[in-house]
Amino acid sequence: MNECYYDKRMDFFYNRTKTDTADEWTGAQLIGVLCFGTFFCLFIFISNSLVIAAVVKNKRFHFPFYYLLANLAAADFFAGIAYVFLMFNTGPMSKRLTVNHWFLRQGLLDTSLTASLVNLLVIAVERHMSIMRMKIHSNLTKKRVTFLIISIWAIAIFMGAVPTLGWNCLCDITVCSSLAPIYSRSYLMFWSVLNLVIFFIMVVVYIRIYMYVQRKTNVLSSHTSGSISRRRTPVKLMKTVMTVLGAFVVCWTPGLVVLLLDGLNCTDCGVQYVKRWFLLLALLNSVMNPIIYSYKDDEMWATMKRMICCSSEDKSQERRSSRIPSTVLCRSTDTSGHYIEDGIIQGTICGKGDLGDKGNS
């Protein structure tokens, strides 16, 4: 029977796997990392708090899609909390942690990243269902949206707790990974492959959305002279989709590939040299999401500016916002066949499948 090492501190596992914990950090380097990390986290907290507050405050955002957007911001906010906890429990401090303390540190990161990823997948599916049914917003009720949000967090918490529940190497240290010295290599393989599969599904969903909208745009153009904005719609959609998918690929894929290589026990891949940078890159997604999913939506941006400037009664700003194709236009009750076609295109722009490219409006 294998011996278990629940009572050991992390230095036992780090020394055995020869994991670098940056003992050579000087005081100046540590202060620099903490200052950078503090600024990084403050931006995450402030920007995502503004997104949540904007959805709560503006009644035009009281739709299933925007509730999911607010939940994505909450996941990114939680990622900031996880990173703060990591900052003060990494480097030279890593070897002094107990097993349970280390599980908590890593579990917070896994939970936050899983919540963001699953939430993005749910948003992609919601947009796909709405557009394919020729509707601007889905038929999800508040109860169903609430159930989805609870399910997202339940899945995220479960995934973050799986190693603590038993899928670890504390009783079989021969299968311990290098990057996560008390995680089983089989778990790292499972977690990385699962997330890469979800990423692939998201790519397929957004490609289908783009192809459908482009086809509808071509049909509409053949029956009408077409306005400049309609002709630009496929370009705007492609830019937004490429921004969303590009940000995810850049921020997540390198780290997932490194985890997969470590799970495969690749000793010559140099995973130790890049692990910190790829972790920062993955967390950078929590900074980029408010920009991609909120700043490109003129109505969202106007609401956030009003909250920042404390000038909610600025009528001139509201008049400018009303002239931009936004959620207000998308809520028209016109049910003619011609407008439904046009509404699908505008809805894709307004409803985060493509949130209106400010630079091309």
Q: What is the pLDDT of residues 123-139, one digit of tens each?
A: 888 877 777 766 656 67
Tell me the mean pLDDT in the region 185-210.
86
Name every residue whose Cβ is closer than 8 Å to that of residue 360 and which is 6 or more positions away in sequence: 232, 235, 236, 239
Tokens of 346: 């505008």
What CA–CA distances, in Å, run from 143 to 140, 149, 334? 8, 10, 27
Per-residue pLDDT, 156: 94
Has residue 236 got a pLDDT over 80?
no
Residue whose pair of structure tokens reads 């980029």 in the numeric block: 288
- How far apart CA 26 and CA 35 sit, in angstroms, is 14
The answer to whether residue 354 is domain-embedded is no
Exposed, middle or buried by CB within 10 Å (0-12, 13-18, 19+), for 130? buried
Note the pLDDT tens digit of each residue in 91-124. Answer: 778 888 899 999 999 999 899 888 988 888 888 8
Name every residue whose Cβ is closer than 8 Å to that of residue 11 and which is 6 or more positions away in sequence: 95, 96
When divided into structural domains, the chain yields a total of 1
Tell me the mean pLDDT in the region 203-220.
77
Per-residue pLDDT, 160: 92
Tokens of 186: 């089989």
The answer to whether residue 184 is domain-embedded is yes
The answer to whether residue 344 is domain-embedded is no
Domain holding 179, by residue range, is 10-222+230-309
Dihedral sign, Cα of residue 247, residue 269, residue 160, residue 83: negative
First to last CA, the chain: 68
Dihedral sign, Cα of residue 282, residue 286, residue 288, residue 294: positive
Name every residue whose Cβ is closer than 8 Å to that of residue 238 and which is 6 or more positions away in sequence: 210
Work out the pLDDT band at 18, boundaries 50, 70, 90: low
Per-residue pLDDT, 101: 92
The answer to whether residue 357 is domain-embedded is no
The answer to whether residue 338 is domain-embedded is no
- By the 8 A CB rule, do 206 and 44 touch? no
- By the 8 A CB rule, do 358 and 305 touch? no
Share of the chain above pLDDT 90, in %: 14
Half-sphere exposure of residue 295: CA atoms within 13 angstroms, side-chain side? 11
The answer to whether residue 35 is domain-embedded is yes
Domain containing 198 — which CATH number?
Answer: 1.20.1070.10
The answer to whether residue 72 is domain-embedded is yes
The answer to whether residue 327 is domain-embedded is no
Tokens of 271: 């995973």
- How far apart CA 7 and CA 9 sit, in angstroms, is 7
Strand residue runs (E) in the chain: none
- By the 8 A CB rule, do 352 and 293 touch? yes
- By the 8 A CB rule, do 206 and 237 touch? no
Per-residue pLDDT, 129: 78
Tokens of 27: 């005081």
Note the pLDDT tens digit of each residue in 272-298. Answer: 777 777 877 877 878 887 787 666 677
Q: How many CB atoms lie within 10 A of CB 348?
A: 30
